[in-house]
């Protein structure tokens, strides 16, 4: 499968998905650690892709997303942003609200 197809499939199959360095339990950089912590604190299920394990995704995703850095949070197929945007949304309560709405849809 071509990398771009793989990325599109990952995004389509995961309503809440973070591309990050490492895993939520073992993040490999400070930005990924803070972003994953915010997601975990929202208490909703989410998927993740460790870009350190997937060099092809790490190379192609910034071009596809038009976003140069990691982590990247995708919700219902749309790029939300990186660590700074996620933390701003978390601090305002916007992230929790958005993710809980998405998670509730998945349970229906």
Instruction: Determine if residue 21 is labeled as part of a ligand binding site.
Output: yes
DSSP 8-state secondary structure symbol assigned to residue 49: E
Structure tokens at 32: 């990924």
Residue 84 annotated as binding?
yes
* 70 annotated to bind ligand: yes
Which of 62, 79, 21, 16 lies closest to 43 in space, CA to CA? 16
**Dist CA 39 CA 48 (whole Å):** 11
* 29 marked as part of a ligand binding site: yes
Residue located via tokens 């389509």: 12
The pair of three-digit structure tokens given for residue 11, joined into one six-digit string: 């995004």
83 is in an annotated binding site: yes
42: annotated binding-site residue?
A: no
Residues annotated in the binding site, as ranges? Answer: 21, 29, 58, 70, 83-84
Residues annotated in the binding site for glutathione, as ranges? Answer: 21, 58, 70, 83-84
Residues annotated in the binding site for [2Fe-2S] cluster, as ranges? Answer: 29
């Amino acid at each position: 499968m071509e990398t771009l197809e793989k990325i599109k499939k990952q995004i389509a199959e995961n309503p809440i998905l973070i591309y990050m360095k490492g895993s939520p339990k073992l993040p490999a950089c400070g930005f990924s650690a803070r972003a994953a912590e915010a997601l975990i604190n929202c208490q909703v299920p989410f998927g993740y892709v460790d870009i350190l394990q997937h060099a092809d995704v790490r190379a192609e995703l910034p071009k596809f997303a038009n976003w140069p850095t990691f982590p990247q949070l995708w919700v219902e197929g749309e790029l939300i942003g990186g660590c700074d945007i996620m933390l701003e949304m978390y601090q305002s309560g916007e992230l929790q609200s958005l993710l809980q709405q998405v998670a509730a849809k998945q349970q229906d």
